[in-house]
Structure 1
Amino acid sequence: MMVALFIFGMIASASVFLLRQSVEAEARSAVRLEEMGDLRRFSAILAQDMTLMLPRPSRDAVGSDRVALMSGDGLLLGFTRQVPQIDPQPGASSLQRVEWALVDGRLTRATAPKADGAATSAPVPILEGIESVQMRFRDRLGVWQPDWRPQRTDELPIAIELTLAQAGNPGAPLVMQFLVAGGGG
């Protein structure tokens, strides 16, 4: 009888151990899937912005001129994009100012309802857990540049590369490249 109880206890302990391992693996998988979903959403939003980016200079709220693509001084990217209008309202602009920034470990996106003179909305966090972002810009000659310094105010790069270092991920950083629809001109 004691042997049977001992064997039953061993089987019960092994079952509890296996169940706990299964639950922990499922929890880790759920976290990883959520992270992958966040990266895919970020990539989709930025790819859409790159597709709709226009080689159009703009003006800030004070009226000063801005180049078509701005980068630096805390701003990752600032540009004008076309806004698809399904049901345009009278006086609504078909252009929008978009600004991407890295703030406190979050990639944020802010928009302004017009390309010229309008203040941007409060930044919306799109991707969290980012330690650093390195950027490169491919010019019309096919050369990757660490900074975007256009020759003309309406010039855009052909492509933009982002290298993201993620917090808690000591592996290789994530490198993403995006084509710019209006670039190269």
Structure 2
Amino acid sequence: MVEMMVALFIFGMIATASVVLLRQSVEAEARSAVRLEEMGDLRRFSAIMAQDMTLMLPRPSRDPLGNDRVALMTGDGLLLGFSRQVAQIDPQPGSSSLQRVEWALADGRLTRAIAPKADGAKTGAPVTILEGIEQARLRFRDKQGVWQTDWRPQRTDELPIAIELTLVQQGNSARPLAFEFLVAGGGG
């Protein structure tokens, strides 16, 4: 009888240890899945932003009311606003090879909105690219190689040669993420 009690006790200990190990394994897998999803979101953001910077044009535009805008706009709730070239495989009558792109940070979401034309068109509904962003800071590298926190061009068609975007994620303010992007039409 004592041997049976000892055997059941040992079996219970082994079963408990197995359940604890299995639970830890499942929790670790769930944490890994969340982290991988976050990394995927950051890579997707970086790819979209890099493509926008590559296709950015040193071209002033007009807003829907006909007012002139500089080639690269920032401020007033707008993180970045600019015109970009788009490829047209089968252009339709009246379509444009230029788009207006606007990046913004609102309510912890980094969004991107596109207008079908660079001049006079309103942007469509913003699409969330990243969530959980507490703060976004920009720096612009001018053609002299100097980093500036404000972009104040001398000409309306002037672009920086590079843009640095630093993102502070909610709950992770001690480790901001810094991205640097070359601007294809910059420095002119």
Superposition TM-score, scaled by structure 2 size: 0.97
1:93 to 96, 117, 123: 96
- Runs (4+) of structure 1 moved beyond 3 Å? none
In the other structure, the counterpart of 2:126 is 123
In the other structure, the counterpart of 1:111 is 114
User: Which has the larger Rg?
Assistant: 2
CA distance in structure 2 between the partners assigned to 1:84 and 1:66 by the alignment: 23
In the other structure, the counterpart of 2:64 is 61
In the other structure, the counterpart of 1:5 is 8
Superposition TM-score, scaled by structure 1 size: 0.99
In the other structure, the counterpart of 1:172 is 175
CA distance in structure 1 between the partners assigned to 2:114 and 2:134 by the alignment: 23
CA shift at 1:168, angstroms? 2.1
In the other structure, the counterpart of 1:33 is 36
Check if 1:77 corresponds to 2:84.
no
CA shift at 1:87, angstroms? 1.5
- Aligned-pair identity in percent equals 84
RMSD: 0.7
Aligned-partner SS, 2:39: helix
1:50 to 33, 48, 53: 53
> What are structure 1's unaligned runs of at least 5 residues?
none
CA shift at 1:126, angstroms? 0.5
CA distance in structure 2 between the partners assigned to 1:118 and 1:170 by the alignment: 37
